[in-house]
């Protein structure tokens, strides 16, 4: 564009005659102010800016920390049944998070060996793998021959380094059939094979059960435990009839799926010298035996 | 004779007429005394052959200088051990050589307790047609701890004697001879020294201080508990040798005077060696390894080890017996670790059968049976650390365990696994000596292991580096002057099989197996910074 010269020259400042007190313009810094003052203002402003930045940073840090805390505090909620189930589906059973440190110890009695150990890997086949190691406690002088079958178990599983739970079985003089020590600091030992199975079931099973089935399930487990210490024929038969309740409709003792009830009952009956089984129970037992002892 | 004495008196009086009266009186008195003594002696001498029916059945042997010839009656005597005095031989006459444990004279009777090693039996001597009063008096005046030869008839006791180890029988003494006399004043009584350690204040509870015991170790060693402890200790050593020999190990002997400190330089004793200095071996480590490089494959050694550590704790000695072993393996050092673990198991299994000795120790110190697992429990160091953290202890991943932490871990392991013996594997590389082989998967860890008994470390071992270059590198990393360990590194120059090993302190193993509180109890003549005698 062609530039035009200004018609009027405003070299000198326009001074308006006003009665008002003129204020310093705060928006344009260099109006009516000398150089030093400008620098001073800048320094102040910079400082303020810096401070603000710092504060913002700190607030952000606090926010992050709070977020972490929140995440950590809400973890127990993750362990609630619903989410646990979700975890199970992902095949990420982490026993270490459930208070188990490295391994659990199962003190087993030689007289009533926990046969369920033999079939543990069949209960939750695609969910969890168990690793066993075997020890004899010094309270025993030697190991009976019939327990050799247990030792083979570790030989088969020793290759799997992906096991989620290491079970250290110690043959020992135990006053009940077996005793599970998870962590001596956090909880008392769990007595009895049935409770050992319950412990695993609580950690692993994702099957939702309504209250009534749950009650029957637990009652049957209790019966399995009592059966072991029962020396009265009458009582024994009563227990049996309770156990086979519902067996006509279902293949297994608690529904159409193999559960710990079957395993617990099978283990107890295997240890018994004369189980005096009735027909339906013996059919189930043979069935169970065949299923559990067949190799994969 | 009285008249005679008076006459002598008179004569004297006359002779010493010029001496002062006081002196005269005194002299007279003395003379009278002497006379009476003389008189008494004569009477007893005269009376003895007639009165003492037991002469020849008691007295003091002359110093036995092996003067008896082969046909003499004394050499044909068959002696019975006190522990063999049982119901089965009631009525037979036996010879026993034993110490006088205690004696108690009661009118015309004298009860003695005789002790041979840790076994005690009661003996009775009573005045009768065969036994004279003088013999009973002689018996009751024998000082305690004297060594006696006794001929006696074994008889049943009317009541069980609870204070003796032989509870059903006692000895009716026929002959009693003093073989070696003990000084009547004893620095400590064996009875006091063997009193059970209890916290109860009831009754007589005199105890003997540990230092008094060690100052008079000869007397102290006579207590049943000490007899048992040192017999067990010998047995442990024997078992160690036997278990390893059965597996093809050979015993070697390594020099104890060496030219350079074998493990670090701080805790080593310097001895003058002709014109220069030499050191006392802190461990047979290097020599064991050289034996491996010399193709012996499996070696062990039993010998003294010296540590110049000025620590006066319950578990440190400056000289102790080291049981060391070293073994070449094929591909994994766990072959060696398991071998060592099994040696321990064999020792433990054999020891639990020695019930009589264990009972003796239990009597005095209380003994909680030693628990172990077969096969032994083996945990990784990281697992141990996480167990400690679970218990609220703050430990870094690569920290060494302090003594309280070790003990705590021992308690945790005992609570969970119910075992007093366990192996901790894969220690951090940083806290092990320079010759320890690093872990192949994680450079922070190493192929090394410690074994623990009742929460205290008894063995520390590892796979050793058998490659001279890696060894030099590790030594430099630890700031060790490579020149000084040149001969050690050189021994691997000509090829050496992979090997691992470890060393045990004999005294410590016995102490911990028995659950004793002080290592001085399991060392016969302990050496510590404050004790060089006896």
| Residue B454: per-residue pLDDT | 93
**B45 belongs to the catalytic site:** no
Contact by Cβ (8 Å): B343, B244: yes
CA dist B244 and B302 (Å) reads 12
pTM for this one? Answer: 0.77
Is B416 touching A (CB cutoff 8 A)?
A: yes
Please answer yes or no on whether B417 and A183 come within 8 Å at the CB atom: no
Cis peptide upstream of residue B269 (ω within 30 degrees of 0): no
Please, which residues bridge with residue B488 across strands?
Answer: none
Distance from CA of B371 to the nearest CA of A (A): 5
| Residue B408: per-residue pLDDT | 93
Please, which residues bridge with residue B501 across strands?
Answer: B326, B462
Distance from CA of B415 to the nearest CA of A (A): 6
| Residue B486: per-residue pLDDT | 84
Residue with the bigger pLDDT between A78 and B399: it is B399
Which segment of A38-42, A272-276, B317-321, B512-516 scores lowest on mean pLDDT? A38-42
**Among B372, B375, B386, beta carbon nearest to A101:** B386
pLDDT tens for each residue of B259-300: 876 555 568 898 999 999 888 998 888 899 999 999 999 999
Backbone angles phi, psi at B165, to 5 degrees: -75, -30
Is A158 touching B (CB cutoff 8 A)?
A: no
**A95, A108, A138: best to mutate for the B interface, most B CBs within 10 A:** A138
| Residue B483: per-residue pLDDT | 83
| Residue B439: per-residue pLDDT | 93
B504: helix, strand or coil = strand
Work out the percent of chain A whose per-residue pLDDT is above 70.
77
ipTM > 0.90, yes or no? no
Distance from CA of A138 to the nearest CA of B (A): 5
Q: Which residues contact A1 (CB under 8 A, 6 or more apart)?
A: none
CA dist B297 and B328 (Å) reads 5
In Å, how far are A122, A180, B54, B77, B307 from B72, measured between CA atoms?
Answer: 83, 72, 22, 9, 53
Helix ranges restricted to H, B380-485: 381-390, 403-417, 468-477
Q: In 3D, which of B262, B341, B325 has the Cα closest to residue B292?
A: B325
CA dist B15 and B17 (Å) reads 6
- Token digits for A66? 């709070």
Is B366 touching A (CB cutoff 8 A)?
A: no
**B207 belongs to the catalytic site:** no
Which residues in chain B have Cβ-Cβ distances shorter than 8 Å to A134?
Answer: 375
Average pLDDT in the A239-252 region? 80
Is A181 touching B (CB cutoff 8 A)?
A: yes
In Å, how far are A129, A157, B197 from A161, measured between CA atoms?
Answer: 9, 9, 50
Of the CA atoms within 13 Å of residue B12, those in its CB half-sphere come to: 16
**Helix, strand and coil in chain A, % to nearest 5:** 50, 10, 40
Which residues in chain A have Cβ-Cβ distances shorter than 8 Å to B386?
Answer: 101-102
Which residues in chain A have Cβ-Cβ distances shorter than 8 Å to B373?
Answer: 135-138, 170
Residue A192: band (very low, low, confident or very high) from pLDDT cuts 50, 70, 90: confident
In Å, how far are A79, A212, A213, A215, B321 from A209, measured between CA atoms?
Answer: 18, 8, 6, 9, 65
- For residue B21, how far is the Cα from the chain centroid? 67
Which residue of the set B143, B146, B386, B460 is catalytic? B460
| Residue A77: per-residue pLDDT | 43
**B460 belongs to the catalytic site:** yes
Contact by Cβ (8 Å): B150, B98: yes
| Residue B156: per-residue pLDDT | 92
Residue A81: band (very low, low, confident or very high) from pLDDT cuts 50, 70, 90: very low
Please, which residues bridge with residue A130 across strands?
Answer: A165
In Å, how far are B88, B108, B134, B189 from B171, measured between CA atoms?
Answer: 14, 17, 19, 23
- Number of CB atoms found within 10 A of residue A286's CB: 11
**Among A135, A139, A172, beta carbon nearest to B377:** A135
Is B372 touching A (CB cutoff 8 A)?
A: yes
Radius of gyration in angstroms for the set of CA atoms belonging to chain A, rounded to a whole number: 38
Please answer yes or no on whether A136 and B373 come within 8 Å at the CB atom: yes
Contact by Cβ (8 Å): B482, B476: yes
Please answer yes or no on whether B371 and A184 come within 8 Å at the CB atom: no
Average pLDDT in the A247-270 region? 82
Is B320 touching A (CB cutoff 8 A)?
A: no
Which segment of A100-109, A198-207, B234-243, B437-446 scores lowest on mean pLDDT? A198-207
| Residue B200: per-residue pLDDT | 64
By residue count, chain A amounts to 296
**B202 belongs to the catalytic site:** no
**A102, A143, A171: best to mutate for the B interface, most B CBs within 10 A:** A102
* Rama region for B255: left / alpha / beta (φ>0; ψ in -120 to 50; rest): beta
In Å, how far are B293, B364, B425, B490 from B495, measured between CA atoms?
Answer: 7, 54, 27, 10
pLDDT tens for each residue of B204-238: 677 888 889 999 999 999 998 999 999 999 999 99
pLDDT tens for each residue of B469-502: 999 999 899 888 888 788 888 889 999 999 999 9
Name the most confidently modeled range: A8-12, A112-116, A121-125, A153-157: A112-116
**B345, B351, B372, B417: best to mutate for the A interface, most A CBs within 10 A:** B417
- Number of CB atoms found within 10 A of residue B448's CB: 28
Residue A162 has pLDDT above 70, yes or no: no
Distance from CA of B354 to the nearest CA of A (A): 14
**Among A102, A137, A181, beta carbon nearest to B373:** A137
Torsion of CA A177, A182, A185, A190, to 10 degrees: -30
Please, which residues bridge with residue A35 across strands?
Answer: none
Torsion of CA B527, B529, B533, B534, to 10 degrees: -30
Of the CA atoms within 13 Å of residue B429, those in its CB half-sphere come to: 20
Kindly report the three-state secondary structure assignment for every residue of A157-204. HCCCCCCCEEEEEEECCCCCCEEEECCCCCCCCEECHHHHHHHHHHHH
Please answer yes or no on whether A185 and B391 come within 8 Å at the CB atom: yes
| Residue B48: per-residue pLDDT | 46
| Residue B337: per-residue pLDDT | 94
Cis peptide upstream of residue A270 (ω within 30 degrees of 0): no
CA dist B351 and B346 (Å) reads 8
| Residue A84: per-residue pLDDT | 39
CA dist B532 and B528 (Å) reads 7
| Residue B520: per-residue pLDDT | 93
CA dist B38 and B5 (Å) reads 10
The residues of chain B scoring below 70 in pLDDT are 1-20, 38-51, 199-204, 261-266
CA dist B57 and A13 (Å) reads 149
Question: Average per-residue pLDDT in chain A?
Answer: 76
By residue count, chain B amounts to 534
Which residue of the set B309, B335, B393, B473 is catalytic? B309
Residue A10 has pLDDT above 50, yes or no: yes
Which segment of A187-201, A239-253, B144-158, B258-272 scores lowest on mean pLDDT? B258-272
């Amino acid at each position: 564009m062609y530039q035009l010269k200004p018609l009027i020259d405003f070299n000198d400042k326009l001074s308006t005659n006003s009665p008002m007190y003129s204020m310093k313009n705060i928006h344009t810094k260099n109006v009516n102010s000398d150089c030093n003052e400008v620098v001073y203002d800048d320094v102040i402003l910079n400082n303020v800016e810096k401070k603000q930045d710092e504060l913002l940073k700190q607030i952000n840090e606090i926010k992050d920390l709070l977020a972490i805390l929140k995440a950590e505090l809400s973890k127990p909620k993750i362990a609630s049944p619903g989410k646990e189930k979700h975890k199970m589906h992902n095949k990420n059973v982490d026993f270490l998070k459930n208070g188990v440190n490295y391994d659990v110890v199962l003190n087993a009695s030689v007289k009533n060996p926990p046969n369920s150990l033999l079939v543990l890997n069949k209960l939750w086949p695609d969910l969890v793998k168990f690793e066993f190691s075997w020890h004899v406690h010094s309270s025993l002088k030697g190991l009976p021959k019939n327990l050799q079958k247990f030792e083979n178990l570790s030989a088969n599983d020793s290759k799997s380094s992906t096991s989620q739970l290491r079970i250290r079985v110690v043959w020992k003089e135990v006053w009940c059939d077996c005793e599970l020590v998870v962590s001596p600091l956090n909880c008392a030992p769990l007595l009895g094979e049935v409770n050992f199975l319950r412990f695993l079931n609580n950690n692993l099973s994702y099957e939702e059960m309504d209250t009534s089935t749950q009650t029957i399930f637990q009652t049957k487990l209790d019966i399995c435990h009592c059966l072991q210490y029962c020396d009265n024929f009458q009582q024994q038969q009563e227990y049996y009839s309770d156990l086979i309740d519902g067996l006509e409709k279902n293949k297994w003792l608690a529904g159409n799926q193999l559960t710990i009830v079957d395993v617990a009952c099978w283990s107890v009956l295997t240890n018994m010298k004369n189980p005096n089984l009735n027909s339906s129970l013996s059919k189930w037992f043979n069935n169970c035996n065949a299923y559990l002892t067949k190799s994969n | 004779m009285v008249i005679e004495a008076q006459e002598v008196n008179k004569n004297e009086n006359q002779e010493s007429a010029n001496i002062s009266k006081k002196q005269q009186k005194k002299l007279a008195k003395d003379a009278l005394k002497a006379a009476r003594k003389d008189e008494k002696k004569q009477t007893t001498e005269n009376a003895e052959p007639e009165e003492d029916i037991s002469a020849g059945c008691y007295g003091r042997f002359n110093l036995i200088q092996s003067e008896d010839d082969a046909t003499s009656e004394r050499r044909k005597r068959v002696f019975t051990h006190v522990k063999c005095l049982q119901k089965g031989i009631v009525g037979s006459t036996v010879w026993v050589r034993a110490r006088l444990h205690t004696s108690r004279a009661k009118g015309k009777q004298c009860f003695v307790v005789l002790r041979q090693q840790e076994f005690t039996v009661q003996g009775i001597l009573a005045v009768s047609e065969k036994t004279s009063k003088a013999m009973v008096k002689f018996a009751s005046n024998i000082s305690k701890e004297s060594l006696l030869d006794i001929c006696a008839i074994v008889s049943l006791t009317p009541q069980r004697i609870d204070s003796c180890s032989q509870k059903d029988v006692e000895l009716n003494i026929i002959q009693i001879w003093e073989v070696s006399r003990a000084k009547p004043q004893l620095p400590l009584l064996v009875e006091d020294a063997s009193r059970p350690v209890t916290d109860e204040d009831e009754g007589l509870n005199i105890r003997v201080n540990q230092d008094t015991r060690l100052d008079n170790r000869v007397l102290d060693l006579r207590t049943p508990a000490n007899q048992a402890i040192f017999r067990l200790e010998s047995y442990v050593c024997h078992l160690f040798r036997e278990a390893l020999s059965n597996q093809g190990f050979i015993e070697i002997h390594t020099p104890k005077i060496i030219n350079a400190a074998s493990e670090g330089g701080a805790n080593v004793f310097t001895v003058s060696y002709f014109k220069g200095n030499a050191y006392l071996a802190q461990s047979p480590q290097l020599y064991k390894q050289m034996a491996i490089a010399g193709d012996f494959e499996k070696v062990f050694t039993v010998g003294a080890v010296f540590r110049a550590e000025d620590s006066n704790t319950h578990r440190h000695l400056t000289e102790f017996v080291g049981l060391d072993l070293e073994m070449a393996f094929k591909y994994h050092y766990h072959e060696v670790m398991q071998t060592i673990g099994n040696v321990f198991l064999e020792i433990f299994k054999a020891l639990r059968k020695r019930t009589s000795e264990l009972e003796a120790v239990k009597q005095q110190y209380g003994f909680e049976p030693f628990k172990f697992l077969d096969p032994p429990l083996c945990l990784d160091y990281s697992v141990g650390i996480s167990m400690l953290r679970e218990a609220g202890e703050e430990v870094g991943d690569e920290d060494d365990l302090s003594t309280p932490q070790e003990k705590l871990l021992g308690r945790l392991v005992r609570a969970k696994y119910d075992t007093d013996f366990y192996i901790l594997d894969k220690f951090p590389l940083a806290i092990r000596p320079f010759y320890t082989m690093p872990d192949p998967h994680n450079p922070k860890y190493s192929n090394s292991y410690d074994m623990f008994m009742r929460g205290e470390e008894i063995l520390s071992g590892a796979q050793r580096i058998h490659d001279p270059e890696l060894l030099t590198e590790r030594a430099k990393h630890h700031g060790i002057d490579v020149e000084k360990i040149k001969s050690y590194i050189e021994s691997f120059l000509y090829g050496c099989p992979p090997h691992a090993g470890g060393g045990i302190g004999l005294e410590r193993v016995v102490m911990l197996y028995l659950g004793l509180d002080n290592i001085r109890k399991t060392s016969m003549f302990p050496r510590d910074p404050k004790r060089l005698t006896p």
